[in-house]
Structure 1
Amino acid sequence: MPTAAKLFAGFAFAVLAFFTAEIFKPHMPEGTQFGYFSFVASLIGLVAGWRVMGPEAGRGNWAAVNSGIKTSAVMIGLALVIFSTYDMFLRAFRPEYKGPMEAIVAIFEIGVDYLRAMLAWDVIAVLAGGGALAGLLSEWAARRWK
């Protein structure tokens, strides 16, 4: 059931994911082609905000801050799985793997490489601070339009 809190949470985390993706880009190797990276990240943020933060809004400010940070963590997990799987498929079409099991293991290796690049102070600060603010925005919307 759509609510104002879910709408605001989805929008806030979509914006947060877009800006986090833009901040993350300089931490990748030079020459990396990003394509629709930021827009796919914002779609992931929209889904995470709608499904994770939206239903948890309306429980108080501290719970909203905690839920916002938790939603940022879920957003990171979804992004790592989606982007590392996509990268694995790109590498699989250039015969880089000997079999399907090696390709599946490569998803986790690629994800760890992405996570290592993501462990920069500016990316973490934006995710934590933005997640807390997005959680508070969702809490405000839940209280305002109850």
Structure 2
Amino acid sequence: MQRVVVRNTTMQLPTAAKLVGVLGMSALAFLFVSAVLNWLPAGVRTVGLLPFAISGGVIIGWRVLGMHSGKGWPQVFGLGGRAAFYLGLYVLFFLGTQQMMTKALRMRYDGPIDAIVGVIAEGISIGISLLRLDVMLLLFIGGMVSAMMSEYAARRWP
């Protein structure tokens, strides 16, 4: 006797809310990286940061905003804050990894566990230097606007 597994493919299908979420979060990622570059400490490597952040905006716009839109306007603010938080963590993880790799190539770590802890430590130190009002407002207001646009698209084009 064979067992039939039915998968829910509706989560994978493109919708207008997912498209608008992708566009909004990608634009926010571009603006966020532009703002972040002004406040990074000296010596932080930023090679590949913009494409990585935009790809994060695509993933977050599709998986967070697009999939959870259409549940009502009161949830939009939490959804936008969550998407903005994820984008900030995504960028900090990349910058921390870049710094860890630079230090690892200079043999500054004793082992792989120290290097993994180094990613977190570098990300936190870079994050502390980016705790600026303009950067945080840009990130969270942009997340809210992207979530509102995605919610509107989910209601307008179901």
TM-score, length-scaled by structure 1: 0.91
CA offset digits 1:59-104 (Å, max 9, x no partner):
1222122201111111112222233123212321221212112111
Residue type at the aligned position of 1:23: A
Per the alignment, do residues 31 and 107 of structure 1 end up closer, same or farther by CA in structure 2, a change over 3 Å counting?
A: closer
Residue 33 of structure 1 and its aligned partner are, at CA, apart by 4.4
Q: Distance in 2 between matches of 1:132 and 1:105?
A: 32
Aligned partner of 1:109 among 96, 121, 139 = 121
Per the alignment, do residues 66 and 120 of structure 1 end up closer, same or farther by CA in structure 2, a change over 3 Å counting?
A: same
Q: Which has the higher helix share?
A: 1
Q: Distance in 2 between matches of 1:80 and 1:31?
A: 15
Matched, 1:128 2:140: yes
Matched, 1:47 2:59: yes
Q: Distance in 2 between matches of 1:37 and 1:103?
A: 20
Contact 1:17 1:42 in 2 (8 A): yes
Residue 56 of structure 1 and its aligned partner are, at CA, apart by 0.9
Q: Distance in 2 between matches of 1:133 and 1:65?
A: 9
Name the larger-Rg structure.
Answer: 2
What residue number does 2:39 align with?
Answer: 27
Count of residues in Structure 1 that have an aligned counterpart in Structure 2: 146
Residue 39 of structure 1 and its aligned partner are, at CA, apart by 2.3
CA offset digits 1:2-54 (Å, max 9, x no partner):
11111110110011011011101111124544232222111111111111111
What residue number does 2:105 align with?
Answer: 93
What residue number does 1:118 align with?
Answer: 130
Matched, 1:138 2:137: no
User: Which stretch has the larger CA shift, 94-103 or 29-38?
Assistant: 29-38
What residue number does 1:63 align with?
Answer: 75
CA RMSD of aligned residues (A): 1.5
Residue type at the aligned position of 2:60: A
The gaps in structure 2 that reach 5 residues or longer are: 1-12
Contact 1:68 1:133 in 2 (8 A): yes
Q: Distance in 2 between matches of 1:30 and 1:89?
A: 16
The gaps in structure 1 that reach 5 residues or longer are: none
TM-score, length-scaled by structure 2: 0.85
Segments ≥4 residues shifted beyond 4 Å:
none
User: Which stretch has the larger CA shift, 77-86 or 104-113?
Assistant: 77-86
Q: Distance in 1 between matches of 2:43 and 2:116?
A: 25
